[in-house]
Chain A
């Protein structure tokens, strides 16, 4: 069957950023929005909840723990690391599994932590 040799090379690779006043406005509006919102939180006497956010034991044993272990498993995509996001529905905890790229900050962080622990 005929296969395109280099079709994908022939096509431009990604949209490029177009410099314009509207985009610049957006950049400063975003910065402003983040700092204003955080400052607002600091001014307001928001009480931190007294919610227990410890990782339950059940989850601990279920979740593949170490970076190395995670890396070894074959079921995983080679470039992905499994994680669990813990969320709360009312008083109930829920766990949502997701994958992060191995070179993501999240995965890197996990590895650094383990290395640090081993050194201890």
Chain B
């Protein structure tokens, strides 16, 4: 199946593409006979066409026309003497006949004998006029085609010709290849053309891929104890725990691991499986479902080795998207192309019938700014919708999608960087009664979600009139395997069914990287909406975009977390800036949703003032966000928030890199217990902590030291800020951890991360940390001052909280 993907995606420039600019219209290109390279007859930003530029600079003189050009495959030569030097060739029309011959200027066209015949010698004209070939020999690419091609300059042409003298196979890319140790090129705000765009982003994606590969492949762990189980689908499941790897490595559902037996109780064995369980509140063990049940040494439990398998799929898809954007002019409309590159393009509006009512069936009515956002998006080929926390971004997106389908028909492609975000949006869109298909990666088909029933692989099982396929499926489910003939038939039927379902869909939902799935490559999408787009890197966003977009809606919030880029070099060069953000910097004004429905008005005050210029209005009042019958010692009754001053020491966690703070953990446990005792349910509470070390410690501490039943604590979600993005909890407790006087405060000083952390809670928020250290950071200094002003900076036991008189440090610039 992976070969499949390569096959579908082998979209490269044909060999007859202009070696300078990439134009590959057969009508418009000529081959140089001498070096066999093709060039177009367009001049781009130089004063001669590319083929003429080449012939002159390389001192080559002979050419052949393209097989599919106006004259078919033709070597240009003198009809009479056969000379092929295009610089002396011309043509003569027959007198009063629409017949033409090519003749050289000397001597054939000057020959006396011609005079007696039908040919009008006076009419001899050269084949090269105005520094291009005559258009009846080779067409000139249209202005639009030339604009869409690589904007190669005369200097670059010169350099390239120089390169060819040493290496005939050199390409444009070689012109700007950095040396091995050099820093990669920085991302730009504006790009000349898709080729430059690819040249800058391609190496960054490569850097990230290499980093990821090294990281994954260095994670092999030995002496693993395995516990075996069998899943409902009869597949073997292996459970085991890994030593904490913290740092960057994060195991995800659907990742692949290889398990190997190296003991002596059984012959050597290795098997690959998908991760179906990751460490969480319920246990630190990892579960993988093996792809193959054959020969699994289920009677052995120790002496196993675990390897991480690196997969290049997502990176390959990004590279492919970048290439497609450069070379394929059907990948995006001309307008979107120039807009994304930051060219000077005026705003345009679609002439479309706006609906009378902007709401969609079974979704909540929209407020004013949401209606405007929908209207804004429907009328424009490119729009940015900014949804601050709790402003109904998902409902607005779902409504836009509904109206797009009503207006243009389907399919509309809906993407987001994470599976969770895709699922949320899929659920909402499904409510409007549109035909929705959720496309999942094959490695994730076994993972359950609230929209599993909309997943393509599940819809196929329920398709009507598909009895043969269903029978084979049943057989496969029961026996685990099919005969090769049946398997072939099964796959063929499945492919057909997939195609049918996808073609009939109004909306197809998948992750950004999922949009590179071979099952979608044959489809074209006029309209594409990308939610949480600020969390995707640009190349990731391009994966769906190049599927033919003419109308692109990016939903996001550049004031919340950006994409995660692990390779520092790539991040420094700008890979961690999202497309959404760049477009904002380019001056495209995002349309902002203004009414938040999540937070208690007191909780939204600081984020609104600090991150959204005070523009965030409250769609809920204090009464609607009151924890009724919950007796909790808020220092100020009408402000369900406080900062709990905790001056504990931080330590380096077991793994060596990640921090933990025992005092903070104990305070978090006391607060959580207090809430639980007064009747708050554990799933209403979320604990945010920036470090993996602290997360693992908190899980343990609460379960073993908490005064209530450990099951209760298990259901409290404890995770990083990033895991909470896009979600909400009734109550948030935040453990800041970093209190070391001598160091910075780690990644807590990213304003976007702080914004996300502060805007998850609906009813109440409690921050546990050390103000002395935190206040050194300007951002935190603001936050602490705000809490102090509000008289909610407190210390002491929960039963006796007192306003803290602690002095803040002067904020200074800290190096992270």
User: Which residues on A are within 8 Å of B, measured CB to CB?
Assistant: 1-18, 20, 22-23, 25-27, 29-30, 33-34, 37-38, 41-42, 46-49, 51, 53-55, 59-60, 63-66, 70, 81-88, 96, 98-101, 104-106, 109-110, 113-114, 117
Chain A residues with Cβ under 8 A from B47's Cβ? 17, 23, 26-27
Whether B343 and A18, one on each chain, are in contact in the complex, defined by CB atoms closer than 8 angstroms, is no
- Beyond contacts A9-B348, A65-B98: 13 other A-B pairs, Cβ-Cβ < 8 A, are A2-B350, A2-B408, A11-B147, A11-B345, A26-B46, A46-B81, A48-B108, A53-B119, A83-B100, A87-B77, A99-B136, A101-B135, A113-B93
Question: Quick one: given A7-B348, A22-B158, are A55 and B97 in contact (CB under 8 Å)?
Answer: yes
- B14-49 residues with Cβ-Cβ distance < 8 A to A are 43-48
What is the minimal beta-carbon distance from B31 to any residue of chain A, in angstroms? 17
What is the minimal beta-carbon distance from A107 to any residue of chain B, in angstroms? 9
Whether B98 and A70, one on each chain, are in contact in the complex, defined by CB atoms closer than 8 angstroms, is yes
Whether B80 and A26, one on each chain, are in contact in the complex, defined by CB atoms closer than 8 angstroms, is no
Instruction: Name the residue in A2, A3, A9, A55 with the highest tally of chain B Cβ atoms < 10 Å from its Cβ.
Output: A2
Interface presence of B620 (CB below 8 A): no
Give the distance in Å from the alpha carbon of A48 to the alpha carbon of B344 in the complex: 55
What is the minimal beta-carbon distance from B332 to any residue of chain A, in angstroms? 12
Chain A residues with Cβ under 8 A from B102's Cβ? 85, 87
Whether B100 and A84, one on each chain, are in contact in the complex, defined by CB atoms closer than 8 angstroms, is yes
Interface-side segment among B66-74, B286-294, B657-665: B66-74
Chain B residues with Cβ under 8 A from A41's Cβ? 83, 85, 88, 104-107
Chain B 143-168 interface 0/1 with A at a Cβ cutoff of 8 Å (1 = within): 11011000101110110000000000
Chain B residues with Cβ under 8 A from A104's Cβ? 135-136
Whether A83 and B136, one on each chain, are in contact in the complex, defined by CB atoms closer than 8 angstroms, is yes
Chain A residues with Cβ under 8 A from B45's Cβ? 15-18
Interface presence of B629 (CB below 8 A): no
Give the distance in Å from the alpha carbon of A16 to the alpha carbon of B796 in the complex: 71
Count of chain B residues with a beta carbon within 8 Å of a chain A beta carbon: 86
Whether A30 and B155, one on each chain, are in contact in the complex, defined by CB atoms closer than 8 angstroms, is no
Whether B348 and A4, one on each chain, are in contact in the complex, defined by CB atoms closer than 8 angstroms, is yes
Q: Is the interface of B mostly helix, strand, loop or mixed?
A: loop
| 8 Å CB contact of B351 from A5, A55, A84 | A5
Chain B residues with Cβ under 8 A from A106's Cβ? 93, 100, 136
Question: Quick one: given A51-B79, A85-B71, are A10 and B347 in contact (CB under 8 Å)?
Answer: yes
Whether A88 and B79, one on each chain, are in contact in the complex, defined by CB atoms closer than 8 angstroms, is yes
What is the minimal beta-carbon distance from B689 to any residue of chain A, in angstroms? 47
Give the distance in Å from the alpha carbon of A59 to the alpha carbon of B118 in the complex: 13
Interface presence of B381 (CB below 8 A): yes
CB-nearest residue of chain B to A46: B107
Interface-side segment among B5-13, B53-61, B311-319, B759-767: B53-61
Whether A30 and B407, one on each chain, are in contact in the complex, defined by CB atoms closer than 8 angstroms, is no
Give the distance in Å from the alpha carbon of A4 to the alpha carbon of B108 in the complex: 54
| 8 Å CB contact of B147 from A15, A26, A83 | A15
Q: Offer 20 A-B interface pairs, CB within 8 angstroms, sorted by A.
A: A2-B351, A3-B350, A4-B348, A4-B381, A11-B335, A13-B143, A13-B147, A14-B146, A14-B147, A15-B143, A15-B147, A20-B154, A25-B158, A27-B47, A41-B107, A64-B98, A83-B99, A96-B71, A96-B74, A98-B71
